Amino acid sequence: MRETLRALRGRLERFVRPRTPEPFPVELHRRRIYVLPTRFGLFFGVMLVAMGVGALNYNNNPALLLMLLLAGAAQTSLLGAHLQLSGLRLVAVSADPVPAGAPILLRLHARAPSRGRERRGLRVDCPDATGTLSLDDGVGEAELALPTQRRGWLDVPRLRISTTRPLGLVRAWSWVWPEQPLLVYPAPEPNGPPLPDGAGEAALARLHPLGDDVHHLRAYRRGDPPRTIAWKPTARLGSLLVREYEQPLSADIVLDWFRITGLDMEARIRRLARWVDEAERDGRRYRLVVPGHPPIGPAQGAAHRHACLRALALLPGGMGAR
């Protein structure tokens, strides 16, 4: 029974607007707002009908007036619920990418043109998540934690924006279906080998003023800290000499798809994703080499990390991509 109902509902939902994903911004106009009584509303309606029949039967006018007054308020609440949504403008959806498996926080940004109407406590939901949208001073956003399963683009499901206010008798709702997909990073490998060292690549040593190994002395330049002055050689040579240190800065790491062997494609992606995170955590520069993509980097930082993980996330799904 329940299954049949769900199937029926699914079929019905194919007829409601929008039927395909749509570009934002979207304005909710009356043609796409639906209003139906809630269960409480049905109960209330049955009660009103019973009251009405009773009042007419007994020709009891105060009782009839009571029933009509309640019916009038219910009718007003129906319009009120509709108007909570009407004219609402959904500006954009956004989300910070997360690794697959973690919930992604979808943010739905909304605006309302009219200052007069109070729009609060609108429920935003899809089968997997629920959020609340309240507009203060005409702007507001709802947050929905959508579950993610796999890397790549996540299509935002059709979202229902609904409200039962002001009396809980009817639910007004509208569907929005953002076209813009959300990026899901690959899930990093939980345990695995450490970062590959950069020995094979041309290790670029760079001077570092606070390194440990004495490299050489040079003439003092204005601005050198006094503690770097090498007093003994200075005394010996008669001109200020400064010690210069160097630290062999860790060599740039190369995260190379082609050097990982013995793993299937998804496992490789997950390992690389883990290495990207590790390199980022250690503060090292890294370069990512993946098939079908020019090498990324070397570089370091949030933007670089995003570029790398994005490339990994969007690698075509091979075997076992799902």
Partner 1 sequence: MAGTRLDARTRLGVLLAAGACVAPLLLQVPTTLALVITGVAIAMAFLSQRPPLPGWLRMVPALGLGAFVFSTMGVNFGRDTGCAMLAAMLAVKPLETNTLRDARSLLGFALFAPFATFLLDQGPLSLVLGLLAVVLVLAAMQRLSDVESDDARRPRTAWRRLRSVGWMLLLGLPLALAAFWLFPRLASPLWGVPDRAHVRPGLADSMTPGRWSDLLLDDTPAARVRFFGPVPPRDRMYFRGPVFMQYDGRTWSRAPLQSSYTAQPVRASGTAWDYELEFEPTDRRQLIALDVPLSPPPNAHFWSDRALRVERPLDSVTRWRMQSAPVATFEADLPRTLQLAALQLPQGFNPRTIALARQWRQDAGANDAAIVNRALSWIRRDFGYTLEVPITGRDAIDQFLFRDKKGYCEQFSSSFVVLMRAAGIPARVVAGYAGAELNTLGGYWLVRRSDAHAWAEVWLAGRGWVRIDPTAAVAPERVFDTIQDRARASGDLLANLQPMFDTGDWMVSTWNDFVLGFNADRQRRLLQPLGFDAVDPERLLLLFSLVAIAALAATVWLLSRDVRERDPLLRAWHRVGRRYAKLGLARAPHEPASEWTQRVHRARAGGDDALVALGARFSRRRYGPAREAGERLNALLRDLDKHRP
Judged by the rule CB under 8 A, the positions of this chain that interact with partner 1 are: 39-40, 43-44, 47, 51, 53-77, 79-80, 83, 86, 114-117, 120-123, 132, 134, 163-169
Minimum CB distance to partner 1 smaller for 111 or for 117:
117
H-type helices in the chain, by residue range? 2-13, 39-57, 61-85, 231-237, 265-282, 302-313
Minimum CB distance to partner 1 smaller for 11 or for 115:
115
Q: How far is the CB of 297 from partner 1 (least distance, A)?
A: 44
Q: How far is the CB of 55 from partner 1 (least distance, A)?
A: 8
Q: How far is the CB of 155 from partner 1 (least distance, A)?
A: 26
Q: How far is the CB of 42 from partner 1 (least distance, A)?
A: 11
What is the Cα–Cα distance from 5 to 13, expressed in whole angstroms? 12
Strands of 89-94's sheet in order across: 26-27, 89-94, 104-111, 139-146
Q: How far is the CB of 44 from partner 1 (least distance, A)?
A: 6
Q: Are strands 170-176 and 241-247 parallel, antiparallel or unpaired?
A: unpaired
What is the Cα–Cα distance from 164 to 89, expressed in whole angstroms? 19
Minimum CB distance to partner 1 smaller for 131 or for 188:
131
Minimum CB distance to partner 1 smaller for 58 or for 153:
58
What is the Cα–Cα distance from 167 to 128, expressed in whole angstroms? 26
Minimum CB distance to partner 1 smaller for 47 or for 205:
47
Alpha-carbon distances of 158 from 67, 143, 155, 161, rounded to whole Å: 39, 15, 9, 10
